Chains A and B, each alone.
Chain A
Amino acid sequence: MIAVSTVAVRNIGRSVDSNDWVNHTHAVILETEALRSSLLVANGTLHTYVLTGDPRDQTACRNALADIDDHFQILSALTRLAPTDHAKVGQLELPINRYSRSIEELLVAKAAGQDNTVRTLLEASTINNAVREMERVIKSLKDNQLALLTERDTASYHQSQTTRWTVWTGVALNVLLLAGVAWLIRDDLSARRQVTTALEEANRFLESRVKERTRELGSANRHLSTENLERRWANHSLEHQLRYNQRIIDSISDLVFVTTHSLNISRVNPAVLHVTGADSTSLISKPLKEVVRLVVAPAGSLSPLPDPLKYALKAGQDLRDQPAEIQDRLGQRIPVVLSLFPLRDNNRVVGGIITLRVTRPASKHSA
């Protein structure tokens, strides 16, 4: 488009130039005609002045001579850059000078009343020869200019045609560009529509997924709530059971020891504290053998075991009604009957429950 615009502007400039040259040729032709007219006016006013002697005719004749000189100067300037025409205009200079000098002489003679001189000058061929010479050159110059006018008009026409073609090329190019832009816009709109459709579909899919997920979450939440409630109930039940068990153990009058698998005390009931006079913190984690001691080997055993309690736990067997002693806080030994029950978790022995029944009442201890 820039190239077409540049060419169009250049063509318009050339059109203006060629138009100027056509106008210039017209101006030369008009000046040639004006020179010829001034020549006729000068001749006419000269003869009128000779007949009437009226000074106004003399002035008119002198003005016509000045006009001839003026037109000659203009023609000379107009043809300055055209050597052939300039040479032709130059051919006018000599006859114009001769003509002007003769006319001046004639005017002076007439003003002085020298009628014979006037007659002689009029009869002489100087003026007529000069006029003929000027007419010949003017005709030749005009013919040349008319030929030149045809040539320049043709050039101007061709230039106009070129400008027209350039403009139409620009218009065609513009139409093509517009079509291209329209196609691009259409393509862009189509792509945008496709993207919008894809986005809407993705949106719908996401919405359905969100709904589905929300449903799942709601369901899971309800399930968890139920589970949580059940768990709470179970915990309550367990706590209740634990407290109940605790109460059962605490309400037993026999001494109850809960031990680990290695027979370290992990729990005692209040009867132990009552009988031994010790506090629970001094008993917890203490080895059981430091508090309770078996007196004899169990009945029916072939050989005495180093530690029947440890053996019973390892074997996972109960040990019932064994005579034993328990030492209280003051070091007094109290005879008891000992029973051991292995404590199982998932069918594995994790500790033991030892119960002691006091066979002889012991002295009371303050807690």
Chain B
Amino acid sequence: MDDLLQDRKMNAKRFANHFEDFKFDYHPFDVQSPKQFLITRRGDCIDYAVLADHVLSHHGIPTRLIRVEMVGKNTGHAVCYVTEDRAYLDYNNRKYFFVLQRSGPTIREIATTVARSLDANWTFAQEFSFDYESFIKRALATVVKTDPPELDADKVIPPRSKTNP
């Protein structure tokens, strides 16, 4: 963890390169501690997204955590959107050369791209925050697919900007 936080050249691609050989281990929206995730080298999308959000924010790179719910049970997916790259980090893409998946900045655009990558329909998507101190997820904005896009929460509320703590 310290290596990730102290790497001065850290960026989204560099972060993704650390996780190429990590295994997938599903914990439905229970976030593992970063220590456990990095030691066991096993985890799921939310472990990866939350850690990316934590590390990249630490280096002053603006990020957003997005959760996309697809149809059915336990079919949610979480990604970390990197604002300056207009792309998101996805645990499913960690082994590929193109680890960043390009997408527009709205929650609806990100949800549509994520759902398409999983060959699924999405129902709602949420921007949320998480910190390793309280281990509690907090919803910031929720977008429902069937709602008119002009009523989307992130169209009304400007995206949250993070600063280096």
Q: Which residues of A are at the interface with B, using a C-beta cutoff of 8 A?
A: 17, 19-21, 23-24, 26-27, 30, 59, 62-63, 66, 70, 73-74, 77-78, 80-81
Contacts and interface: CB of A to CB of B under 8 A. Distances in A.
Given A30-B73, A62-B136, A63-B135, A78 B121 contact: no
Contact of A78 (B73, B124, B137): B124
A268 to B, nearest CB: 126
B123 A26 contact: yes
Given A27-B71, A27-B124, A78-B124, A73 B142 contact: yes
Contacts, number: 54
Nearest to A24: B146
A23 B71 contact: yes
A77 B121 contact: no
Given A20-B121, A27-B69, A66 B146 contact: no
Given A27-B123, A62-B136, A21 B146 contact: yes
Q: Quick one: which of B123, B137, B143 has the most chain A CB within 10 A?
A: B123
B126 interface: yes
A298 B162 CA distance: 162
Contacts of B143: 77
29 contacts: A20-B121, A20-B123, A20-B145, A23-B71, A23-B121, A23-B123, A24-B123, A24-B144, A24-B145, A24-B146, A27-B123, A27-B124, A30-B73, A62-B136, A63-B135, A63-B136, A66-B136, A70-B137, A73-B142, A74-B126, A74-B142, A77-B142, A77-B143, A77-B144, A78-B123, A80-B144, A80-B147, A81-B147, A81-B151
Interface of B: 69, 71-73, 121, 123-124, 126, 135-139, 142-147, 151, 153
Contacts of B142: 73-74, 77-78
Contacts of B71: 23, 26-27
A23 B69 CA distance: 11
Interface of chain A: mostly helix, strand, loop or mixed: helix
B121 to A, nearest CB: 5
A74 B121 CA distance: 17
A74 B145 contact: no
Nearest to B145: A20
A66 B137 contact: yes
A245 B142 CA distance: 138
Nearest to B75: A30
A24 to B, nearest CB: 5
Contacts of A59: 135
Given A26-B72, A80-B144, A81-B147, 20 more contacts: A20-B123, A23-B71, A23-B145, A24-B146, A27-B69, A27-B71, A27-B123, A63-B136, A66-B138, A70-B139, A73-B139, A73-B142, A74-B126, A74-B142, A77-B124, A78-B124, A78-B142, A80-B151, A81-B146, A81-B151
Contacts of A17: 146
Contacts of A26: 71-72, 123
Ranked 9 nearest A-B pairs via Cβ? A77-B142, A27-B123, A23-B71, A66-B136, A24-B146, A73-B139, A23-B123, A20-B146, A23-B121
A74 B137 contact: no
Contacts of A19: 121
Contacts of B123: 20, 23-24, 26-27, 78
